């Protein structure tokens, strides 16, 4: 990767690949917006420029930091601009640091004297190739590998991802920093620590919730999220006399997604489907009303719903074997993702008042590791090369 470019400890111009900041409602878009919100809050002395080929989503706030392609070629051929044309524009704008928020970097940054940092969230397409079309895997590997090899600094979002970078790309772990993810600061403001009344927030419009204590699960309706095993676990519990309702927040129109509702109906499981993206305040309102959150995903780069739920103040059950134990630590319960019987047993533990009483105090210590001010401080040290 060469010798990183270091910067003086003065105000600098930091640029970001902001395509997903402006155009993705969840996932990488959420990550980008949360980070920028924190940086602007804790380090307002620096200038933050957001480079995007377009702003179709109207998700992120448009301010004087947005930068669109300044040429006909860039406006017409977006991939060319992002990979080859952006660097000229960055140099023209006096950018000193460029952060590729999602695995990619434009060419020529080192020659332009611009310090480069890239976030690598996961290499799921390498670890679970069966979940991705071959053409996607080809281009992902090409882009991710190049960015990781050329960046001045590579930052993995978890120790799991740092291990995967070494295993799949041969990038030694000691050359990769780990900086986790903060969740939206609103989850803390709307937590039980600040609003003890469970009904302090209204039920989001258009959503009906079970009258009985319910579990909450949040995630896209795709196989990797492992919804089918959660439904199977609830079916096993029903056979044992426990009829536990589920509120499922996610979206998807695949055969898998459509089959989940049929599976739940056949099993006689009460599922309240919320098939749309929810804004932060509405999602926090659901967390606050849930008896617990189950996140049964097979594999992720981080697992932000785990942190969101613990920040609000509800117990969490997730899976072992990946990065989730980094996020949940001793403040969460764990089960094997492919063992619905174990998931079922752990759901009963999640709902056990004595277990809950032990988990809740541990959450405060665990979520402190991912406090926005701590995450942003780590990033600022990385940007400045200190």
Q: Report which of residues 228 and 200 the model is more confident about.
A: 228
Q: How many CA atoms, within 13 angstroms, populate the side-chain half-sphere of residue 381?
A: 11
Is 161 domain-assigned?
Answer: yes
- Listed range (51-60, 82-91, 293-302, 365-374) with the worst mean pLDDT: 51-60
Assess whether 224 and 302 both reside in one domain: yes
Sheet strands (E) in the chain: 13-17, 47-51, 66-67, 97-100, 115-120, 153-156, 176-178, 215-218, 246-249, 271-274, 292-295, 316-319, 333-335
Phi, then psi, of 317 in degrees rounded to 5: -115, 125
Is 337 domain-assigned?
Answer: yes
Say what the pLDDT of residue 322 is. 86
For 199-260, give the DSSP string.
Answer: TSSPPPTT----SS--EEEES-SSGGG-HHHHHHHHHHHHHTT----EEEE----SHHHHHH
Q: Report which of residues 25 and 236 the model is more confident about.
A: 236
Q: Could you tell me if 160 and 124 are in contact, meaning their C-beta atoms sit under 8 angstroms apart?
A: no
Phi, then psi, of 382 in degrees rounded to 5: -70, -45
Structure tokens belonging to residue 124: 């799921």
Using CA atoms, how far apart are residues 220 and 275, in angstroms rounded to an integer? 9
List the strands of the sheet with 13-17, edge to edge.
Answer: 66-67, 47-51, 13-17, 97-100, 115-120, 153-156, 176-178
β 66-67/97-100 pair status: unpaired
Instruction: Give the distance, in angstroms, between the CA of residue 266 and the centroid of all CA atoms in the same chain.
Output: 32
Burial class of 119 by CB neighbour count within 10 A (0 to 12, 13 to 18, 19+):
buried
Assess whether 294 and 345 both reside in one domain: yes
pLDDT band at 24 (very low <50, low <70, confident <90, very high): confident
Assess whether 148 and 40 both reside in one domain: yes
Indicate the number of domains in the chain.
2
Using CA atoms, how far apart are residues 330 and 365, in angstroms rounded to an integer? 10
Is 2 domain-assigned?
Answer: no
Q: Could you tell me if 55 and 68 are in contact, meaning their C-beta atoms sit under 8 angstroms apart?
A: yes
- Which pLDDT tens digit goes with each residue over 127-182? 999 989 999 999 999 999 999 999 999 999 999 999 999 999 999 888 899 999 99
**CATH number for the domain including 349?**
3.40.50.2000
Residue 311's closest CA among 166, 163, 157, 182? 182
Is the per-residue pLDDT at 88 higher than 60?
Answer: yes
Say what the pLDDT of residue 58 is. 67
Q: Report which of residues 336 and 276 the model is more confident about.
A: 336
Is 3 domain-assigned?
Answer: no
pLDDT band at 344 (very low <50, low <70, confident <90, very high): very high
Residue 173's closest CA among 129, 120, 100? 120
Assess whether 226 and 203 both reside in one domain: yes
Is 225 domain-assigned?
Answer: yes
Is 101 domain-assigned?
Answer: yes
- Which pLDDT tens digit goes with each residue over 275-301? 988 889 999 999 999 999 999 999 999
Phi, then psi, of 247 in degrees rounded to 5: -105, 115
State percent of the chain over pLDDT 70.
Answer: 95
Say what the pLDDT of residue 5 is. 54
Assess whether 164 and 248 both reside in one domain: no
Assess whether 38 and 157 both reside in one domain: yes
Assess whether 143 and 231 both reside in one domain: no
Under DSSP, the state recorded for 15 is E
Is the per-residue pLDDT at 2 higher than 70?
Answer: no
Say what the pLDDT of residue 25 is. 79
Assess whether 119 and 208 both reside in one domain: no
253: domain range?
185-368
- Which pLDDT tens digit goes with each residue over 176-216? 999 999 999 999 999 999 999 988 888 888 898 999 999 99
Is 4 domain-assigned?
Answer: no
Assess whether 141 and 193 both reside in one domain: no
Q: What average pLDDT does this structure show over 89-115?
A: 96
Assess whether 144 and 194 both reside in one domain: no
Assess whether 171 and 203 both reside in one domain: no
Average pLDDT, the chain: 93
Assess whether 104 and 229 both reside in one domain: no
Is 1 domain-assigned?
Answer: no
Q: Could you tell me if 296 and 226 are in contact, meaning their C-beta atoms sit under 8 angstroms apart?
A: yes
Say what the pLDDT of residue 173 is. 85
């Amino acid at each position: 990767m060469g010798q990183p470019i270091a910067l003086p400890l003065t105000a600098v111009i930091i640029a970001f690949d902001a395509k997903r900041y402006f155009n993705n409602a969840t996932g990488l878009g959420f990550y980008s917006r949360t980070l920028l919100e924190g940086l602007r809050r804790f380090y307002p002395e620096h200038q933050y420029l957001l480079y995007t080929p377009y702003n179709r989503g109207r998700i992120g706030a448009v301010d004087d930091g947005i930068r669109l392609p300044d040429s006909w070629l860039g406006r017409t051929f977006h991939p060319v601009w992002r990979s080859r044309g952006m660097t000229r524009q960055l140099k023209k704008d006096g950018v000193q640091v460029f952060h590729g928020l999602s695995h990619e970097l434009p060419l020529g940054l080192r020659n332009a004297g611009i310090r480069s940092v890239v976030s690598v969230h996961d290499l799921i397409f390498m670890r679970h190739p069966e979940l991705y079309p071959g053409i996607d895997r080809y281009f992902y590997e090409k882009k991710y590998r190049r960015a990781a090899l050329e960046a001045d600094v590579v930052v993995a979002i978890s120790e799991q991802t740092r291990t995967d970078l070494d295993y799949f790309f041969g990038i030694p772990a000691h050359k990769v920093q780990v900086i986790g993810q903060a969740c939206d600061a609103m989850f803390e403001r709307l937590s039980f620590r600040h609003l003890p009344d469970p009904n302090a927030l209204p039920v989001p419009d258009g959503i009906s919730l079970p009258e009985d204590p319910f579990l909450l699960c949040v995630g896209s309706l795709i196989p990797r999220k492992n919804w089918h095993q959660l439904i199977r676990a609830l079916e096993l519990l029903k056979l044992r006399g426990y009829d536990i309702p589920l509120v499922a927040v996610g979206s998807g129109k695949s055969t898998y997604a459509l089959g989940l509702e049929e599976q739940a109906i056949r099993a006689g499981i009460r599922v309240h489907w919320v098939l749309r993206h929810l804004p932060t305040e509405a999602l926090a309102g659901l967390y606050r009303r849930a008896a617990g959150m189950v996140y049964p995903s097979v594999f992720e780069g981080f697992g932000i719903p785990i942190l969101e739920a613990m920040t609000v103040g509800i117990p969490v059950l997730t899976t072992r074997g990946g990065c989730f134990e980094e996020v949940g630590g001793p403040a969460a319960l764990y089960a094997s993702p492919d063992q619905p019987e174990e998931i079922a047993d752990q759901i009963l533990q999640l709902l056990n008042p004595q277990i809950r009483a032990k988990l809740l105090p541990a959450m405060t210590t665990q979520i402190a590791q991912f406090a926005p001010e701590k995450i942003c401080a780590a990033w600022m040290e990385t940007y400045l090369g200190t």
